[in-house]
Amino acid sequence: MSKKTLVLGASPTPVRYAYKAVKRLLSYGHEVVAIGKVEAEIDSVKIIKEKIDIPDLHTVTMYLNSEKQEPYLDYIIELKPKRIIFNPGSFNSKLEKLARTAGIEVLEDCTLVMLDTDDY
């Protein structure tokens, strides 16, 4: 089943894990929205800079460190995803608390590993 996923911190640089996550999510058939600091494309996915409404969002997968997440905290909660995945180096206790209070599942995990082990 496809899970609409927001990759926050998306990058057009192939060595970055956020780039690899977009590619891998697509290869597993998931719909991807990518927000990053530069506009670019990864395959069929446009990386955008602005915050947009994303109906029926299943997952936010985080590739920003906690300081860079600050402008997105309210936005993420307002999107009402079913879960947030904090990839290595992105854990944010403030966002975790906000998410849990809003009934959003929080995971500290690796999106790439989750996909490859069928845990996504």
Number of domains in the chain: 1
Domain harbouring 75, CATH code: 3.40.50.720
Q: pTM of the prediction?
A: 0.97
What's the rounded mean pLDDT across residues 7-36? 98
Kindly report the length of the chain. 120
Per-residue pLDDT of 66-91, as tens digits, reads 999 999 999 999 999 999 999 999 99
User: Domain range holding 17?
Assistant: 5-116
pLDDT in the model for residue 1: 84
| DSSP state letters, 42-111 | ETTEEEE-S----TT--EEEE-S-HHHHGGGHHHHHHH--SEEEE-TT---HHHHHHHHHTT-EEEES-H
- Please check the confidence at residue 58 and state whether its pLDDT lies above 90: yes
